[in-house]
């Protein structure tokens, strides 16, 4: 299996532990990754606020590069996934719009033919790879560990752009993955809500209230950690959890784990190689409960 790899900015920026962790587990899964060094940021929905056409054209540019490579695109970020899917949806459902985009791409000698289907590693594992093939690679099942899923808005909504109708399994993909890793799913209302990251610099109080609400809810239901396929959610839920905890006037202390780190732990990769020591909320108690040396 081979994919054009679109890691996104945050997996190498604010969450530098994610990129190597994702590459490490793909190696174990025998998934080959081809980088696209000329691909730009998706615009994260922020550029789209200013200029949607420009944002869509940037994504079409990446899609065209992947088409030239003849490879499907892999993302490791819920936000990248959602923004790409939305752009793709607009272009695929409107040939005139796509043609307008292609006028811009032609200036660089690129053309997008509408064949890209960007997929998050989470979806790839379930739809392309198969959880049954992942199972034999689980050498250290996360038995006894209680994990709360946290999806990130963009990989859930709007469902029409994300093809949920044709792929209903996307609705509970994260829970299924957690079960495959041998852990117990902590189901809670906040799992499909917003982490608050997009308004962090705009309305910090509300952003922190969201972090506090969701992490505290999972913690109170007995979660040992929260798992997310979205590094932006991770940034807010992890790096800003101390502030959210102060605002909520209660202790929370819930480690937030990137999805590839959870997979890596279950594959027997050391916590250190997965970058778990780089988190703001300490992962030590989790590692101790897992019964492995930190590495």
Which CB sits closer to another protein, 132 or 205? Answer: 205
How many Cβ atoms sit within 10 Å of the Cβ of residue 283? 25
User: Is residue 50 part of the contact set for another protein (CB under 8 A)?
Assistant: yes
CA distance 24 to 284: 21
CA distance 174 to 151: 7
Rounded to the nearest whole angstrom, what is the least distance from the CB of residue 38 to another protein in the complex?
4
Rounded to the nearest whole angstrom, what is the least distance from the CB of residue 113 to another protein in the complex?
19
Q: Is 34 helix (H, G, I), strand (E, B) or coil?
A: strand
User: Is residue 22 part of the contact set for another protein (CB under 8 A)?
Assistant: no
User: Is residue 168 part of the contact set for another protein (CB under 8 A)?
Assistant: no
Q: What is the distance of C-alpha 33 from the center of its chain? A: 17
Residues in contact with another protein, total (CB under 8 A)?
61
User: Is residue 57 part of the contact set for another protein (CB under 8 A)?
Assistant: yes
What's the burial of 84, exposed, middle or buried (CB within 10 Å: 0-12/13-18/19+)? buried
User: Is residue 75 part of the contact set for another protein (CB under 8 A)?
Assistant: no
Q: Tell me how far CA of residue 218 lies from CA of 52, 171, 191, 213, in angstroms.
A: 36, 19, 9, 9
Both tokens of 295, joined, read: 């590495």
Taking CB under 8 A as the criterion, the residue among 189, 285, 293, 294 binding another protein is 189
Q: What is the distance of C-alpha 171 from the center of its chain? A: 14
Which CB sits closer to another protein, 12 or 133? Answer: 12
Taking CB under 8 A as the criterion, the residue among 27, 32, 38, 222 binding another protein is 38
Q: What is the distance of C-alpha 50 from the center of its chain? A: 24
User: Is residue 239 part of the contact set for another protein (CB under 8 A)?
Assistant: yes
Which CB sits closer to another protein, 29 or 196? Answer: 196
Q: Which residues bind another protein (CB under 8 A)?
A: 9-10, 13-17, 37-41, 43-54, 57-58, 61, 104, 107-108, 153-154, 156-159, 189, 193-194, 196-199, 201-207, 209-210, 213, 239-240, 242-243, 277-280
């Amino acid at each position: 299996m081979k994919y054009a790899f679109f890691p996104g900015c945050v997996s190498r920026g604010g969450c530098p532990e994610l990129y190597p962790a994702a590459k490490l587990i793909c190696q174990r899964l025998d998934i080959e990754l081809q980088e696209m060094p000329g691909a730009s940021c998706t615009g994260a929905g922020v550029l789209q606020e200013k200029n949607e056409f420009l944002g869509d054209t940037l994504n079409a540019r990446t899609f065209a590069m992947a088409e030239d490579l003849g490879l499907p695109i892999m993302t490791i970020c819920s936000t990248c996934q959602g923004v790409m899917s939305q752009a793709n949806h607009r272009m695929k459902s409107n040939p005139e719009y796509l043609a307008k985009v292609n006028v811009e791409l032609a200036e660089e000698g690129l053309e997008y033919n509408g064949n890209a289907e960007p997929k998050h590693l989470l979806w790839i594992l379930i739809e392309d790879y198969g959880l049954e093939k992942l199972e034999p690679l689980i050498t250290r099942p996360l038995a006894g560990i209680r994990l709360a899923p946290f999806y990130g808005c963009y990989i859930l909504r709007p469902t029409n752009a994300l093809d949920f109708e044709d792929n209903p399994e996307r609705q509970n993909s994260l829970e299924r993955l957690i079960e495959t890793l041998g852990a117990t799913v902590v189901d809670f209302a906040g799992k499909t809500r917003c982490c608050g990251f997009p308004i962090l610099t705009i309305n910090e109080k509300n952003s922190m209230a969201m972090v506090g609400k969701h992490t505290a809810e999972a913690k109170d239901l007995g979660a040992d950690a929260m798992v997310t396929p979205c590094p932006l959610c991770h940034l807010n839920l992890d790096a800003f959890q101390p502030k959210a905890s102060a605002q909520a006037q209660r202790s929370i202390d819930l480690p937030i784990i990137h999805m590839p780190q959870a997979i890596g732990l279950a594959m027997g990769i050391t916590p250190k190689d997965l970058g778990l020591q780089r988190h703001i909320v300490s992962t030590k108690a989790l590692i101790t409960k897992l019964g492995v040396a930190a590495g």
